[in-house]
Structure 1
């Protein structure tokens, strides 16, 4: 299917389904966006790519101990779940830290599809352990939970909803940078190892929300093809659909130069700025 045909297909779906947000529906005109956002139709003129550091290669997981040592870490928290803790990926990470004499603690109680409560549980564990760095070993749920733990450990005075996206949170900018986090993904769908987002369920509000901050991107993503060998078949299928949905976002998102209101300062430009020439190429 050509890109032109795909775009037409997605646009027809958008028209049928409708929607209220002009950033994600079929009426992306500046006037419609301004009416929705309460701003004036003065569009942005630039987009920004916030690139992540990625190390890729078979067996590269064994290098994580050197990276933790370079951080000058005194106590690392390895965050994972009850399934991944039994995999070769986790074994490689823990062995690498042990070989270099790095002190670490393991938290393996991450909830698949994390909630605000499960994230707070991880935050409390990390605080009590006194960890100053984090290594996330797992899929998107593990990495997102680790982002929350690292963020709130460095901002202990913050309420959980201070950094959660509206309408339930305030989306405040954290006062302190997140403690260093290295992500070792064991799935190939969410891309959480390179994003500034942490997604969670809010059962009380019966919805899914998240934290979106530039400062919660992992400092390093260790992408090792060996780590997806243990991925269950259904997880591989779900991950494939995840990738497809992210690609489709490039066809449905508002172009960066049609987004309003234009930020008054460059640092107020949002983390996700709409479709752009680079995302268009990658979505193919």
Structure 2
């Protein structure tokens, strides 16, 4: 492998330094990888041969929130739990929801104490409230934290005797299969980011281990997602930024995930086929469209809250990327983000009206993205080149035209770095308060995230994670 790169895409000093660093470590990794674990699972008769595409019903339109009352009447709802957080409770979207329910004479109760970046404790508080009130339909009004909390409340109210870890992903939890249909849930997102209105995942901080984990099942998917661009206008700029960065990584990770045909073992029972199945022909379409829209509209939506077109297009981007990763799954950026958020003690991101330290989820996935895709490039170079072109990489450059696998990761990483720097994203782990001495703990917090890390296009052990974290300490 070449030790340096002189292509036009990397002619600036920072890029050359990055490439030299990457090639030194990548050369070592390639030899090690082939010896220890190879690029992907192969030579196994138990390969998966099928994928499923499942997503919530979505309704998109400006002002469509006001239809929720009639939706609940149509569902025959007898008692509705409306879940939100203390900030959203004061915003126009909640007024619209409440007025719609009152107009349709829907019986409801409000829970407005969900936590930004929820924990096992905040999940359980919402679950206990739900068990007390026994709703038959749920409405989640908020960002991913609210929607995920509402999914958990729905699940455990239908399994009232289950402990929290019963359905939490292994190895942190028991990973039990959700065997029955849950109550209807209408999700009304107020951010353009998580795509939680389309997916069957619920993520939280498991405080005893200082790490994020979650629950994943198609049964958790909302019955209906009401996507109304009007609801994102009041988002603070930094919340828009973090939400949009989550979309960005959803799209990139699902597009570059391990192909579904390389995943093992094939389930003996179709019901055991995981929600995250690996990249597939249908998820690719949604992921690429989510990426294109995010690259085009995220900066506009952050810089000008009144830009209705940018707001609407980012709502579409979130739903598209959510549909893509809801089938394909995500991989290293997300797996590594969980300990970044979970181990944080002091960093509090600006623009978040909370009383605790917080690394917003979108920030925690984005800071490692350049390092991650520098690492994964050789596993599926065509996809990394394609993504880089969407960011604006010159397809006529010598490095691009050569299509050499060793160029793909660095080219995409450089495009990502420029994109993140242009948005004012914290420049890496050091900007969040981490240093080299924290890397062992970050690695240990990533290793249990099997649900996502196993979908990386390269099987990634502790040594590789250590190098990626080190590469992500400072991006620019």
Q: Which of the numbers 51, 57, 76 marks the counterpart of 1:47?
A: 51
Pairwise CA RMSD of aligned residues?
Answer: 2.5
**Cα distance per residue 1:249-274 (max 9 Å; x no partner):** 12431100111111123222111100
Contact 1:155 1:176 in 2 (8 A): no
| Normalised TM-score (structure 2) | 0.53
CA distance in 2, matches of 1:26, 1:145: 38
Match of residue 136 from structure 2:
132
CA distance in 1, matches of 2:167, 2:287: 29
- Structure 2 unaligned spans of 5+: 1-8, 10-18, 289-476
Match of residue 246 from structure 1:
250
1:29 aligns with 2:41: yes
Whose strand fraction is larger, Structure 1's or Structure 2's?
A: 1
Q: Which has the larger radius of gyration?
A: 2
Q: Which of the numbers 53, 66, 71 marks the counterpart of 2:75?
A: 71
User: Using a 3 Å threshold, how does the CA distance of structure 1 residues 214 and 65 change in structure 2: closer, same or farther?
Assistant: same
Contact 2:55 2:221 in 1 (8 A): no
CA distance in 2, matches of 1:174, 1:158: 11
- The number of equivalent residue pairs is 264
Match of residue 155 from structure 1:
159
Whose helix fraction is larger, Structure 1's or Structure 2's?
A: 2
Deviates more, 1:123-132 or 1:210-219: 123-132
**Cα distance per residue 1:109-155 (max 9 Å; x no partner):** 00000011101100111111222211000000000000000111111
Q: Which of the numbers 86, 92, 98 marks the counterpart of 1:88?
A: 92
Match of residue 273 from structure 2:
269
Contact 2:203 2:212 in 1 (8 A): yes
Q: Shift in Å at residue 175 of structure 1? A: 4.2
- Structure 1 unaligned spans of 5+: 32-39
1:281 aligns with 2:285: yes
| Normalised TM-score (structure 1) | 0.87
Q: Shift in Å at residue 17 of structure 1? A: 11
Q: Which of the numbers 231, 235, 238 marks the counterpart of 2:235?
A: 231
Q: Which of the numbers 216, 222, 232 marks the counterpart of 2:220?
A: 216
Tell me which of the two structures has the higher relative contact order, counting C-alpha pairs closer than 8 angstroms and 6 or more residues apart: 1
Contact 1:15 1:26 in 2 (8 A): no
